[in-house]
């Protein structure tokens, strides 16, 4: 009992230490669950695949590089007509689990998580992570066209929500913990810790970032990656053969990558419109119980897969084959067909209510498109190989429609080790982002920016900075000196103060300001007085102005500080104000607004 009491006290002390202690603890806990959850999901998919898809049909799909298997692959002999049996069975079981225990777990979990951030204070029901894990593993393992990232994002975000509640954190901190879960889950399972951490801040909005979530997400993502990556020797998700060069060495190749970005952008629009078009068709099937709709989607996917089994499952193995230039099963016409069929299969699987993510199918769809372009272009531009164009197109394809171009770009380099393609990726992903436009996002729960988010409504309902006076933000204990003080006596004050400038005053009457830049090395410090070198052109502001005006003035001054004077006597010093003082006053006011709202509810 005493040991438990000491442990509880230690945890409370860490949480009470403020931002650093709190987010180190919370980030570590979320990261541990993200890493373990990623391993559990990975193994669960393999388990259900062996029972359903492989067990029923004999079909075994190729795998990505981290699985440690050779990319060489042939379809062999399998029971064609039994593929729909596997996909229908997976849809039935998954549909029953989801709609019986947690309907929020349907579809691609990332969107549900984004919605919880904006509209539900980051609250996610406790049962959702487990339901999402099992239902997604069954959907993907039976051959459904879906990804792992949505499920693991929802699983880790759900645990982040739980941790926040367990430690009695605020709604604000719960949202941040939930966002950190997104970053940790995706960073782990994609072997892309930096990209995953950035994604958690970028994917919530179409044109903004949740900057406060970055540090907690980095802590959680590093922890999750360390756990999940240990099982795979920390290899990138995809293996690139040593004989394949990935890099940028010909400036004229930028025209090709520009074209790839344009095509990826229009392809992304097709993906989004098809996905939500098919989803709306299933939503209109009101006479058919929701339990059975994923089975209908599975049936249609299975029928397509009889002829084109490449659309089944995650699809990463087909990208791996492309990287090894093993295109015997993927000639040009098949790549073009697969681009369209993968979009349809994903829409049928997830749009019907099946459980799984849209990230992996988006990457695979973009890879089919990029490989088709590479097959056509390589004979005319031999310095651009198929693997390079595949990587650039698949990343720009999803980077555009996810409205998270920066994080997806970085994830692409981490997943492939293709850091030499950073410039082409920047170009193509940016172009794809603008071509697809803000209207077409695969994540409909995204909002435009922080101002449009209900989570930040309190900060934007009125101009907060205009409501806070300089008097409430200024510092009254500021470093100062007398104008007749010799420089040798004031040098220690200049060196010890954290501010760049000290106030020159006598009896609170302003004479000027002094900074180290005013003092030359050849000056006789003992005989030179402060008034001989001080700056008299001092930036001042009255105490009744607001901090918005103060911030604007600070951005135009080199001293980094304003002297606050009495509005009735502009020679009388009341205090000083700098950037940090403005930020602290702003945050203090925002906390007051949120506290009032909590008391009202």
pLDDT digits (tens, 9 = 90+) for 58-82: 888 887 766 555 554 545 567 778 9
Alpha helices of 352-486 — where are they, by DSSP H? 359-377, 386-401, 405-416, 422-436, 457-460, 464-467, 470-473
Please check the confidence at residue 461 and state whether its pLDDT lies above 50. yes
Q: With cut-offs at 50, 70 and 90, classify the pLDDT of residue 527.
A: confident
Q: Comparing C-alpha atoms, which of 137, 130, 57, 55 is closest to residue 94?
A: 137
Tell me the average pLDDT across 507-524: 84
User: 402: which DSSP letter?
Assistant: T
Please check the confidence at residue 194 and state whether its pLDDT lies above 90. yes
Q: Long-range contacts for 113-117 (Cβ within 8 Å, ≥24 apart)?
A: 113/153, 113/154, 113/157, 113/178, 113/181, 113/182, 114/203, 114/204, 114/443, 114/445, 114/446, 115/445, 116/157, 116/161, 116/178, 117/175, 117/178, 117/179, 117/204, 117/453, 117/455
Tell me the average pLDDT across 408-428: 89
- d(CA 322, CA 231) in angstroms, rounded, equals 25
- d(CA 95, CA 349) in angstroms, rounded, equals 11
- d(CA 322, CA 385) in angstroms, rounded, equals 11
Tell me the average pLDDT across 221-242: 89
Q: With cut-offs at 50, 70 and 90, classify the pLDDT of residue 369.
A: very high
**Count, residues in the chain:** 601
Tens of pLDDT, residues 135-166: 999 999 999 999 888 888 888 888 889 888 88
Please check the confidence at residue 13 and state whether its pLDDT lies above 60. no
Phi, psi of 232 (to 5 degrees): -125, 25
Tens of pLDDT, residues 96-132: 998 888 777 676 678 888 888 898 888 888 888 888 8
Q: Comparing C-alpha atoms, which of 102, 111, 161, 163 is closest to residue 133?
A: 102
Please check the confidence at residue 14 and state whether its pLDDT lies above 80. no
Residue with tokens 């009491």: 5
CB 237 within 8 A of CB 314: no
Stretch among 33-42, 494-503, 555-564 having the lowest mean pLDDT: 494-503
Tell me the average pLDDT across 347-370: 92
Going along the chain from its start, the domains and CATH numbers come out as 13-456 (1.10.3080.10), 464-600 (3.10.580.10)
Q: Which two tokens stand for residue 500?
A: 């760049």
Q: What percent of the chain has pLDDT over 90?
A: 42
Q: Which two tokens stand for residue 568?
A: 């009735």
Residue 244: the pLDDT is 75
Residue 72: the pLDDT is 47
Q: Comparing C-alpha atoms, which of 321, 416, 431, 421 is closest to residue 371?
A: 321
Residue 261: the pLDDT is 96
- d(CA 68, CA 121) in angstroms, rounded, equals 41
Residue 10: the pLDDT is 55
Q: With cut-offs at 50, 70 and 90, classify the pLDDT of residue 221.
A: very high
Residue 467: the pLDDT is 81
Tell me the average pLDDT across 34-38: 92
**How confident is the prediction for the chain on average, in pLDDT?**
86
Helix (H) / strand (E) containing 283: helix 253-283
Stretch among 17-26, 176-185, 313-322 having the lowest mean pLDDT: 17-26
Residue 470 or 3, more confident? 470
Please check the confidence at residue 258 and state whether its pLDDT lies above 90. yes
| DSSP per position, 135-146 | HHHHHHHTT-S-
Please check the confidence at residue 83 and state whether its pLDDT lies above 80. yes
Tell me the average pLDDT across 293-322: 92
Residue with tokens 């729909």: 84
CB 560 within 8 A of CB 578: yes
Residue 397: the pLDDT is 96
Tell me the average pLDDT across 459-483: 83
| DSSP per position, 335-375 | HHHHHHHHHHHHHHHHHTT-B-BSHHHHHHHHHHHHHHHHH
Residue 341: the pLDDT is 97
Q: What percent of the chain has pLDDT over 70?
A: 92
């Amino acid at each position: 009992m005493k040991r438990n009491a000491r442990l509880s006290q230690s945890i409370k002390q860490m949480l009470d230490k403020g931002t650093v202690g709190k987010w180190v603890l919370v980030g570590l806990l979320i990261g541990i669950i993200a890493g373990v959850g990623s391993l559990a999901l990975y193994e669960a998919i393999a388990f259900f695949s062996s029972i359903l898809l492989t067990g029923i049909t004999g079909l075994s799909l190729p795998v990505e590089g981290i699985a440690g298997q050779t990319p060489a692959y042939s379809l062999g002999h399998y029971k064609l007509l039994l593929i729909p049996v596997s996909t229908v069975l997976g849809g039935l079981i998954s549909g029953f689990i989801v709609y019986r225990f947690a309907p929020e777990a349907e579809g691609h979990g990332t969107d549900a998580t984004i919605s919880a951030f904006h509209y539900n204070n980051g609250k996610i029901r406790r049962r959702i992570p487990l339901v999402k894990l099992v239902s997604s593993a069954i959907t993907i393992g039976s051959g459904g066209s879906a990804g792992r990232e949505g499920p693991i994002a929802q699983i880790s975000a759900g645990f982040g929500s739980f941790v926040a509640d367990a430690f009695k954190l605020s709604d604000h901190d719960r949202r941040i913990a939930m966002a950190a879960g997104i970053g940790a889950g995706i960073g782990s399972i994609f072997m892309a810790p930096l990209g995953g951490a950035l994604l958690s801040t970028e994917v919530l909005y179409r044109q903004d970032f949740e900057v406060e979530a970055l540090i907690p997400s980095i802590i959680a993502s590093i922890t999750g990656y360390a756990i999940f990556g240990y099982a795979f020797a920390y290899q990138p998700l995809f293996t690139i053969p040593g004989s394949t060069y990935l890099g940028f060495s010909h400036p004229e190749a930028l025209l090709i990558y520009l074209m790839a970005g344009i095509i990826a952008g229009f392809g992304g629009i097709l993906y989004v419109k098809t996905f939500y078009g098919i989803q709306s068709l299933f939503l209109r099937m009101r006479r058919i119980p929701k339990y059975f709709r994923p089975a209908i989607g599975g049936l249609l996917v299975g029928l397509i897969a009889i002829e084109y089994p490449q659309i089944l499952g995650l699809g990463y193995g087909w990208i791996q084959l492309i990287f090894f230039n093993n295109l015997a099963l993927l000639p040009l016409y098949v790549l073009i067909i697969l681009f369209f069929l993968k979009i349809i299969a994903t829409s049928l699987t997830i749009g019907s209510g099946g459980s799984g993510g849209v990230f992996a199918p988006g990457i695979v769809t973009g890879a089919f498109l990029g490989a088709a372009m590479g097959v056509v272009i390589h004979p005319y531009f031999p310095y651009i190989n198929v693997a390079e164009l595949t990587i650039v197109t698949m990343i720009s394809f999803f980077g555009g429609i996810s409205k998270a171009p920066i994080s997806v770009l970085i994830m692409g380099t981490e997943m492939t080790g293709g850091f030499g393609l950073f410039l082409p990726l920047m170009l193509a992903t940016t172009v794809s982002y603008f071509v697809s436009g803000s209207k077409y996002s695969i994540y409909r729960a995204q909002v435009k920016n922080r101002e449009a988010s209900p989570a930040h409504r309190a900060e934007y309902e009125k101009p907060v900075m205009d409501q806070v006076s300089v008097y409430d933000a200024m510092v009254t204990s500021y470093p100062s000196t007398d104008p007749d003080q010799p420089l040798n006596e004031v040098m220690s004050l200049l060196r010890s103060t954290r501010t760049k400038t000290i106030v020159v005053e006598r009896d609170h009457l302003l004479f000027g300001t002094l900074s180290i830049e005013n003092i030359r090395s050849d000056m006789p410090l003992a005989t030179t007085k402060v008034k001989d070198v001080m700056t008299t052109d001092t930036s001042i502001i009255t105490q009744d102005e607001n901090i918005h005006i103060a911030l604007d003035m600070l951005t135009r001054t080199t001293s980094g500080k304003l002297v606050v004077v009495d509005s009735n006597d502009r020679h009388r010093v009341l205090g000083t104000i700098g950037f940090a003082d403005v930020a602290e006053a702003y945050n203090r006011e925002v906390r007051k607004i949120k506290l009032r709202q909590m008391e009202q509810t």
